């Protein structure tokens, strides 16, 4: 599941916000052919109840986009509990790190998938194949331990393999990523229509760059500007 947050100006009428968000996402994707290929069908995006809202009065609830109890697919910033969402993300990631630490205890540090993919791309004549790159990645004891745990069906929570590089930094660093990505999700379209995304197996340095960009995009919003979540 890929969640994209779209920033919509306060001057867009409430009944047009959902349409404006989908249009802004489609426009942002079309600007970059490579991104368009990754999403394949951006016009098939749907509203997603991603945000925790604080609306209680009827008038305030009328400003919500696709509300569902305490959740909504969008709303003015002033009606969203973004601080709670960020803190919850921090807690979930911190808990997941401790589970991961127990699962991989005794195994050697592993190289992320991107390391092997880069080797594949840089090897002439395809002598180091893509299939070999995946085999070498999965043969590492730490990766194998994570896969066995995930497939057991008895684990406390899923351990995403594409989080490997972040897991290996530290508990606090991993939890901080959870804090920062809880609101934007996997990508954000800012007020200027620019899409910044963070795909699975993204190198850690790119993750930090994504976090910096999303923080700036969110800080650029007024209390009456809207955030809308799409699932693509």
- pLDDT higher than threshold 70 for residue 33: no
* Cα-based distances in Å from 163 to 75, 114, 184: 30, 12, 17
Residues 46-61: tens digit of each pLDDT: 999 999 999 988 878 8
- pLDDT higher than threshold 60 for residue 36: no
Q: Which residue has tokens 């594409």?
A: 162
Angle ∠(66,230,226) on CA atoms, nearest 5: 65
CA dist., res. 160 & res. 56, Å (int):
36
Handedness of CA 100, 104, 106, 107 (dihedral sign): negative
- pLDDT higher than threshold 80 for residue 35: no
- pLDDT higher than threshold 60 for residue 119: yes
CA dist., res. 19 & res. 142, Å (int):
45
- pLDDT higher than threshold 60 for residue 40: no
Enumerate residues 6+ apart whose C-beta is below 8 A from 111: 137, 140
Q: Of all residues in the chain, what percent carry a pLDDT higher than 70?
A: 95
pTM over 0.85: yes
- pLDDT higher than threshold 60 for residue 155: yes
């Amino acid at each position: 599941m890929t969640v994209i947050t779209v920033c919509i100006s306060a001057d867009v009428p409430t009944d047009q916000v959902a349409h404006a968000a989908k249009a802004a996402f489609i426009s942002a994707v079309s600007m970059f052919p490579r991104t368009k290929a990754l999403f394949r069908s951006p016009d098939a995006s749907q509203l997603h109840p991603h945000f925790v809202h604080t609306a209680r009065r009827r008038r305030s609830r009328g400003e919500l986009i696709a509300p569902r109890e305490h959740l909504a697919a969008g709303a003015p910033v002033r009606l969203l509990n973004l601080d709670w969402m960020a803190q919850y993300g921090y807690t979930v990631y911190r808990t997941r790190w401790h589970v991961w630490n127990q699962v991989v205890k005794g195994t050697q540090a592993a190289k992320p998938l991107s390391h092997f993919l880069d080797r594949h791309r840089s090897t002439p004549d395809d002598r180091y194949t893509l299939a070999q790159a995946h085999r070498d990645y999965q043969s590492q004891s730490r990766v194998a331990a994570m896969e066995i745990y995930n497939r057991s069906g008895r684990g406390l929570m899923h351990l995403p393999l594409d989080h490997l590089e972040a897991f290996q930094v530290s508990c606090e660093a991993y939890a901080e990523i959870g804090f920062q990505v809880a609101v934007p999700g996997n990508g954000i379209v800012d007020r200027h229509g620019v899409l910044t995304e963070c795909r699975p197996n993204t190198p850690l340095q790119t993750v930090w760059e994504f976090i910096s960009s999303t923080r700036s995009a969110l800080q650029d919003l007024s209390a009456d500007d809207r955030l809308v979540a799409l699932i693509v």
